[in-house]
Chain A
Amino acid sequence: MLQSGAETYRVEDTMTRMAAALGFPGAHSYVTPTVIMFTTSRTEPVKLFRIAERTTDLQKVSEVNDISRRLSERQITAAAARERLGKVDDAAHAYPVWLQIAAAALTGGCFTIMFKGSVQDALPALLASGLGYAAVIYLHRLVQVRFFAEFSASFLIGLLAFFSVQFGFGREMDKIIIGSVMPLVPGLLITNAVRDLMAGHLVSGISKGADAFLTAFAIGTGIGLVLSLF
């Protein structure tokens, strides 16, 4: 659940609720973006889970939420809940990769128009953001460093935007770039970070903020490199 980008308080809340439903009213959990610590009572040893990979997967969040609600309303047994949770964990991304890339492309094109770019700029943005997103997916599979994948994707976007303006397909390079990088930028992460901070989850707020900063830095560097090359 935490891997799939749920809010910190939701993870903590779900865990204690499920534990209470199973007969452990004194359960405690402590959650940050990289670790979950959980104990069922004062005398039991604490369990610790490390979270290495973080994405956003709302389908999983909603399914786990559903299971926990049913468990606490005693509609299903603990064993059934465990089995279903295992299934959710194994499930792959619900949308095929080509559809994700197409969605990213559409997003880029639409954002270009929304940020007051012309329709003429939307076409190169469509292309650039689709390719950029595809680059992130495949490069991330190739090398496990996310910074590198984001950096090269934004470099690619920058190149495409530059050449499309050079050859007269688009008009404003800025508008094309800003639309195209929208599928990559960590806007949601920033908002979640501030929200965590407001809710008093200081550690997870700051680490989410650092994560967002790093991503923005990767994208900014990629584009900046293109701009300084030409």
Chain B
Amino acid sequence: MLLQLVTSFIAASTFCILFNAPRRALLQCGLAGMVGWIVYLQLDRQWGMVTATFAATLIVGIISIFFARSFKLPVIIFSVGGIIPLVPGGLAYDAMRKFVENDYIEAVEIAVEALMLSGAIAAGLVLSEVLGQMFRRSGS
């Protein structure tokens, strides 16, 4: 568990270096990634992958909106770091590998799963943005 916390933090912030995020945002990126990954891990067992991903992304989105307000940087900087561990890049690669290995049925299965996950992530991000806008409107 502790190992997962540390590694997800490092992975999210180093990924932000690859995406050339501003230096002062790296710490928050790592934090968002860590929270997202832990929420995902906790929910994954009971609710299944798609729901867990959706919930984790929603939380990451809300955190990144909060960070974006307080640090005056675009939301995307933080949300990228946050969703990187959740994003189905590994699955997409896995699907392609199965295709290359002529295991078509498995490949299509994994590809559909990756599509569902990215749909869940996109929905989570959009929903958190909508929530953020509603909050701003009621606040002002």
Residues of A within 8 A of B (CB): 5-7, 10, 56-62, 65-66, 93-95, 99-100, 103-104, 106-107, 109-111, 113-115, 119, 133, 178, 181-183, 185-188, 190-191, 193-195, 198-199, 212, 216-217, 219-221, 223-225, 227-228
Contact = CB atoms under 8 A, between A and B. Distances in A.
- Sorting the interface of chain B by its residue count into under 10, 10 to 19, 20 to 34 or 35 or more gives 35 or more
B20 A57 contact: yes
Interface in B1-50: 3-4, 7-8, 10-11, 14-23, 25, 37
Given A191-B118, A216-B96, A221-B96, A198 B126 contact: yes
B97 A224 contact: yes
B76 A61 contact: yes
A5 B24 CA distance: 20
Nearest to B121: A191
A225 B101 CA distance: 9
Interface string B72-106: 11101100100111011110111111011100000
Nearest to B98: A220
Interface of B: 3-4, 7-8, 10-11, 14-23, 25, 37, 72-74, 76-77, 80, 83-85, 87-90, 92-97, 99-101, 114-115, 118-119, 121-123, 125-126
Tell me what chain B mostly uses at the interface: helix, strand, loop, or mixed.
helix
A58 B21 contact: yes
A104 B3 contact: no
